[in-house]
């Protein structure tokens, strides 16, 4: 921060010293030239433009600047050397070179846009903290103008001024950064300014932004760009995933969360399909083989490159395949059924639904004593889940509930012959009772044959494909289910 004036005969030498420092440190050193109104050196020559501003007066005053005021002079990072902030041009380069060797706890980037149509200057500043800052941080944002011509003491003929301070977009002592200033924090600040009536040649203007540690009064980092340009902070690669524990054949959806304005992205998905991507957020990646897989993201912009690798980040294994059995699948009204989970791939959560049963649902692995109190055929549904996914099995009409046992009613209405049977079994409706369906079950209730009735008085069943033994024959009408034991020999 240079203090200069058109009536200062030694100031051109200071301008030369400053220009040499900037040339030796491109994109690392930045400057603003103040013409404070509280100095006689800044009074313009008659007919010349007035570069004076009141904003720098607080800086160019004792005791803030030091024990005395003089020109040309400058703050070097606002650091106090001895007892003074204000330093002569003979030490600027040495102090600047020393500061260039020091690490900063933050990186800054800035983008500016100027609309000639509405004469609005838009400024976006990004700050990425690489270390913790426990003290309050204040940000300064200001506009300077180049190529301003006037008379200059100590120079012959018209003189061109550079980096001349024009406007500040924050308070006298900066604005407090209220967002976190801890390591890894990204702060984004936006400003806009209406240039109408300013008279500035915006194509010759620069925007300068810097951060001051309020506790020490020193500047910790800064950045400057021409109006309409942008500069970058080095990007930091980061990403998130919607779910990184997935079943075989499932998909993981990745989203880029890198900071610093990356321009390119290079993803590598070990075990994934596709295995690479150059999209900012590549979306769904499919994993077809069990295992634990790395994910790598490399981001790049003009300021540098950064890579992050998440080791064993995606966990892939098989989701369950739901399956179950029951001790019986036919019961009389009021009877109960015990169910057994036989799912594979180690489910950890079970959700059962028993249509017509009491209770209607269960989260037990092997629910027992499910009671059925109404005649009918009922579905059973099992959803089996583990950390890799879930599977649903629905068995339609799995449980049959009858309303009559094996008694004389069957013999009164139907004739079942021959019994024992060698394979062919006949069912005759004695009282012309209409039969809808005939079902044959094993003694443990498993369905082995189902046949729709054809409307005739005598129904024929072919049991020749069944093993010998005893079976239940269910004769179903519109009103009831009748049972008969038959022996197949």
Give the CATH number for residue 218: 2.60.40.10
According to DSSP, the β-strands at 148-150 and 414-417 are unpaired
Please say which residue of 347, 371, 402 terminates a domain.
Answer: 402
For residue 126, which of 302, 310, 261 has the smallest C-alpha distance? Answer: 261
47 contact partners, CB below 8 Å, separation of at least 6: none
Using the predicted structure, report yes or no on whether residue 438 has a pLDDT greater than 60: yes
Task: Return d(Cα 277, Cα 282) in angstroms, integer.
Answer: 6
Please say which residue of 316, 342, 366 terminates a domain.
Answer: 316
Phi–psi pair at 84, nearest 5 degrees: -125, 140
CA torsion, points 89, 223, 22, 120, in degrees to nearest 10? -100
Say yes or no: 474 and 356 in one domain.
no
The length of the chain is: 489
Say yes or no: 121 and 204 in one domain.
yes
* Domain extent for 448: 408-488
Using the predicted structure, report yes or no on whether residue 353 has a pLDDT greater than 90: yes
77-97 pLDDT, tens digit each: 999 999 999 999 999 999 999
Cis upstream peptide for 274 (omega within 30°):
yes
118 contact partners, CB below 8 Å, separation of at least 6: none
189-246 pLDDT, tens digit each: 999 999 999 999 999 999 999 999 999 999 999 999 999 876 777 889 999 998 999 9
pLDDT score at 190 = 96
Say yes or no: 210 and 135 in one domain.
yes
pLDDT score at 47 = 92
For residue 404, which of 471, 327, 479 has the smallest C-alpha distance? Answer: 479
**pLDDT range class, residue 412, cuts 50, 70, 90:** confident
Residue 2: CB atoms within 10 A of its CB come to 24
Mean pLDDT of the chain: 93
Mean pLDDT within 352-374: 97
Say yes or no: 88 and 171 in one domain.
yes
Task: Return d(Cα 233, Cα 126) in angstroms, integer.
Answer: 8
Q: Where are the beta strands (DSSP E) in 64-136?
A: 73-74, 87-88, 106-115, 120-129
CATH code at position 444: 2.60.40.3080
Using the predicted structure, report yes or no on whether residue 403 has a pLDDT greater than 70: no
Say yes or no: 312 and 329 in one domain.
no
* Token reading at 240: 């998130």
Say yes or no: 310 and 416 in one domain.
no
Question: CB–CB of 449/459 below 8 Å?
Answer: no
pLDDT score at 445 = 74
Q: Above pLDDT 70, what percent of the chain?
A: 98
458-484 pLDDT, tens digit each: 999 999 999 999 998 988 887 777 888
Domain total in the chain: 4
pLDDT score at 442 = 87
pLDDT score at 261 = 78
Task: Return d(Cα 385, Cα 392) in angstroms, integer.
Answer: 9
Q: Above pLDDT 90, what percent of the chain?
A: 80
Say yes or no: 102 and 134 in one domain.
yes
Mean pLDDT within 394-406: 77
**pLDDT range class, residue 39, cuts 50, 70, 90:** very high
113-172 pLDDT, tens digit each: 998 888 999 999 999 999 999 999 999 999 999 999 999 999 988 999 999 999 999 999
156 contact partners, CB below 8 Å, separation of at least 6: none
Question: CB–CB of 481/404 below 8 Å?
Answer: yes
Fill in the DSSP letter of residue 259.
B
Using the predicted structure, report yes or no on whether residue 16 has a pLDDT greater than 90: yes
Phi–psi pair at 413, nearest 5 degrees: -105, -30
Using the predicted structure, report yes or no on whether residue 405 has a pLDDT greater than 60: no
Say yes or no: 282 and 368 in one domain.
no
For residue 77, which of 268, 249, 241, 220 has the smallest C-alpha distance? Answer: 220
Using the predicted structure, report yes or no on whether residue 248 has a pLDDT greater than 80: yes
Task: Return d(Cα 118, Cα 62) in angstroms, integer.
Answer: 41
Say yes or no: 220 and 114 in one domain.
yes
pLDDT score at 409 = 57
Using the predicted structure, report yes or no on whether residue 404 has a pLDDT greater than 70: no
430 contact partners, CB below 8 Å, separation of at least 6: 412, 413, 414, 415
Calculate the alpha carbon distances from 78 to 52, 75, 402 in Å: 21, 5, 94
Please say which residue of 379, 402, 425 terminates a domain.
Answer: 402
- Torsion sign across C-alpha atoms 83, 85, 90, 94: positive
Say yes or no: 41 and 137 in one domain.
yes
Mean pLDDT within 379-399: 95
Using the predicted structure, report yes or no on whether residue 406 has a pLDDT greater than 60: no
Fill in the DSSP letter of residue 40.
G
Say yes or no: 18 and 157 in one domain.
yes
Q: Where are the beta strands (DSSP E) in 303-404?
A: 304-317, 324-326, 330-332, 336-337, 339-341, 349-354, 357-358, 361-362, 370-372, 376-386, 389-402
pLDDT score at 410 = 63
Say yes or no: 358 and 477 in one domain.
no
Using the predicted structure, report yes or no on whether residue 348 has a pLDDT greater than 90: yes
Using the predicted structure, report yes or no on whether residue 407 has a pLDDT greater than 60: no
* Token reading at 337: 């059924």
């Amino acid at each position: 921060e240079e203090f200069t004036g058109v009536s200062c005969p030694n100031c051109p030498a200071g301008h030369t010293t400053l220009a040499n420092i900037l040339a030796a440190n491109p994109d690392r050193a930045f400057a603003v030239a103040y013409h404070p109104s509280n100095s006689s050196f800044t009074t313009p020559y008659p007919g010349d433009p007035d570069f004076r501003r009141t904003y720098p007066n607080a800086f160019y005053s004792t005791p803030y600047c030091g024990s005395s005021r003089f020109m040309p002079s400058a703050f070097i990072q606002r650091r106090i050397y001895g007892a003074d902030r204000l330093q002569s041009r003979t030490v600027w380069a040495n102090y600047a070179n020393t500061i260039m060797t020091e690490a900063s706890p933050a990186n800054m980037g800035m983008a500016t846009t100027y609309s000639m149509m509405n004469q609005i200057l838009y400024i976006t500043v990004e700050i990425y903290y690489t270390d913790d800052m426990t003290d309050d941080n204040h940000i300064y944002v200001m506009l300077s103008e180049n190529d301003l011509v006037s008379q200059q003491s100590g120079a012959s003929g018209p003189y061109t001024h550079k980096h001349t301070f024009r406007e500040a977009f924050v308070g006298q002592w900066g604005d407090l950064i209220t967002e976190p200033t801890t390591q890894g924090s990204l702060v984004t600040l936006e400003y806009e300014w209406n240039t109408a009536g300013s008279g500035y040649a915006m194509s010759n203007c620069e925007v300068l932004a810097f951060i001051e540690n309020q506790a020490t009064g020193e500047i910790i980092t800064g950045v400057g760009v021409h109006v309409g340009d942008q500069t970058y902070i080095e990007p930091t690669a980061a990403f998130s995933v919607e779910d990184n524990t997935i079943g075989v054949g499932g998909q993981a959806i990745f989203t880029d969360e890198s900071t610093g304005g990356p321009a390119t992205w290079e993803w590598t998905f070990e075990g994934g399909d596709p295995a690479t991507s150059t999209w900012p957020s590549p979306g769904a990646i499919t994993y077809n083989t069990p295992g634990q897989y790395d994910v790598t993201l490399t981001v790049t912009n003009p300021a540098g490159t950064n890579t992050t690798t998440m080791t064993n980040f995606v966990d892939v294994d098989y989701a369950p395949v739901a399956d179950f059995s029951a001790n019986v699948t036919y019961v009389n009204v009021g009877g109960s059924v015990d169910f057994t989970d036989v799912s594979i791939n180690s489910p950890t959560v079970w959700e059962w639904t028993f249509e017509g049963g009491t209770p209607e649902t269960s989260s037990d692995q092997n629910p027992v004593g499910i009671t059925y109190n109404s005649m009918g055929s009922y579905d059973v549904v099992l959803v089996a889940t583990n950390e890799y996914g879930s599977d649903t099995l629905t068995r339609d009409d799995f449980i049959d509930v009858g309303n009559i046992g094996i008694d004389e009613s069957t013999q009164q209405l139907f004739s079942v012959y021959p019994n024992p049977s060698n394979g062919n079994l006949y069912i005759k409706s004695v009282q012309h009772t209409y039969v809808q369906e005939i079902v044959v079950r094993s003694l443990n209730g498993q369905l082995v044959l189902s046949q729709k009735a054809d409307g005739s008085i005598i129904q024929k069943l072919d049991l020749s494909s069944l093993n010998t033994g005893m079976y239940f024959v269910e004769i179903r009408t519109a009103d009831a289910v009748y049972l008969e034991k038959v022996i197949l020999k």
